[in-house]
A = this chain, B = another copy of it.
Amino acid sequence: MDQINPEHNSIGWIGTGIMGVPMCGHLIRAGYRVFVFNRTKEKAGELLNKGANWCDSPVEVARRSDVVFTIVGYPDDVREVYFGKEGVFAEPVSDRIFVDMTTTEPAIAGEIYEKALACDCFSLDAPVSGGDVGAVKGELSIMVGGDKEIFDLVKPLLGLFGKNIVYQGKAGCGQHAKMCNQITVAGVMIGICENLIYCKRAGLDFHTMLRSVGSGAASSWLLDNLGPRIMEGDYNPGFFVEHFIKDMEIALDESRRMGIDLPGLELVKSLYERASALGHGRLGTQALLLALEDFCGDEKRGYKEV
């Protein structure tokens, strides 16, 4: 492949969740012939209605597509999609490009890369940031690892999903960059939620406090965007607690493997696990506040009543 275009190339899509559906929709809108697989077929319904072709397995997707995108849930799901009995590598293929957009272990990205190379294929790891809203708008941030030439070849397709598309280095580097993102988010989240707990107890008005704190050294995207939602008692997910826990686990596993300790991330993960144990796994990451209030033994849950 010298270039990828709707006239000559078919695209495969594996994983039609909250992110996958709108992302794959952009490919269909761009005129590509798309082959879709998902563990739960019903979730692909919207895409099939728009003209996507159903496949019964990942390997069938790989057989019928030149470029295969995957965006599934957990590292084990990625392994199953690639190395499972009906995974994309279950039959001999060649001259394919695999792009895993799941946030997963950097080591898996390396395994996929090696396996792809061994059968004259290529792969990229390309996790995203920006949530379902970013996916719908085509405004995701995409962090890419793999061979630079393959990145250049696939970049126009990634451009259908995202705005900020950055080549981070060799296979796994996309995943590492995503870990940097999530490690930072963890710290910012505890800073924000502890602020809000203090703010409430001190009797300050949240919006007035935000006028001081939200524009200087303490300012952040998350304070601006999640702060007001927390104060309104809105815990609807932009990004699920349980998925964030998965990301933090990956980052901590990688850190240990690299011989470093991240005590802040350890603490934040333990608080998110507390949120999950309280039944908040499918709430948005702002539910860290509920875990902190539980930690404080505060009987009030959330800030709705303030």
Residue numbers of A with Cβ under 8 A of B are 106, 129-131, 141-143, 164, 166-169, 173, 176-177, 179-192, 194-195, 197-199, 201-205, 208-209, 211-213, 215-223, 225, 251, 254-255, 258-265, 267-268, 271, 292, 295-296, 298
Chain B nearest CB from A140 CB (Å) reads: 9
In the complex, which residues of chain B have a beta carbon less than 8 angstroms from the beta carbon of A260?
197-198, 201, 296, 298
In the complex, which residues of chain B have a beta carbon less than 8 angstroms from the beta carbon of A168?
204-205, 208-209, 212
Q: Is A217 within 8 A of B212, CB to CB? A: no
Q: Is B267 within 8 A of A264, CB to CB? A: yes
In the complex, which residues of chain B have a beta carbon less than 8 angstroms from the beta carbon of A197?
260, 262
**Could you say how many copies of this chain the assembly holds?**
2
In the complex, which residues of chain B have a beta carbon less than 8 angstroms from the beta carbon of A195?
180-181, 183-184, 187
Q: Is A180 within 8 A of B209, CB to CB? A: yes
Q: Is B199 within 8 A of A180, CB to CB? A: yes
Q: Is A185 within 8 A of B217, CB to CB? A: yes
Chain B nearest CB from A284 CB (Å) reads: 12
Q: How far apart are the CA atoms of A264 and B192 in the complex, in Å?
A: 10
Q: Is B264 within 8 A of A218, CB to CB? A: no
Q: Is B259 within 8 A of A202, CB to CB? A: no
In the complex, which residues of chain B have a beta carbon less than 8 angstroms from the beta carbon of A131?
217
Q: Is A261 within 8 A of B188, CB to CB? A: no
Q: Is B223 within 8 A of A184, CB to CB? A: yes
* Known contacts A181-B212, A203-B169, A213-B177; A268 and B264 CB within 8 A of each other: yes
In the complex, which residues of chain B have a beta carbon less than 8 angstroms from the beta carbon of A189?
187
8 A-B pairs besides A141-B212, A164-B212, A177-B204 with CB distance below 8 A are: A164-B215, A167-B208, A169-B204, A180-B218, A184-B192, A188-B218, A219-B220, A259-B296
In the complex, which residues of chain B have a beta carbon less than 8 angstroms from the beta carbon of A211?
164, 166
Q: Is A187 within 8 A of B198, CB to CB? A: no
In the complex, which residues of chain B have a beta carbon less than 8 angstroms from the beta carbon of A199?
176, 180
Among B185, B191, B296, the residue within 8 A (CB) of A184 is: B191
Q: How far apart are the CA atoms of A216 and B133 in the complex, in Å?
A: 12
Q: Is A198 within 8 A of B179, CB to CB? A: yes
In the complex, which residues of chain B have a beta carbon less than 8 angstroms from the beta carbon of A218?
129, 180-182, 184-185, 188, 221-222
Among B192, B213, B221, B262, the residue within 8 A (CB) of A187 is: B192
In the complex, which residues of chain B have a beta carbon less than 8 angstroms from the beta carbon of A203?
169, 173, 176
Chain B nearest CB from A283 CB (Å) reads: 17
Among B129, B198, B292, the residue within 8 A (CB) of A180 is: B198
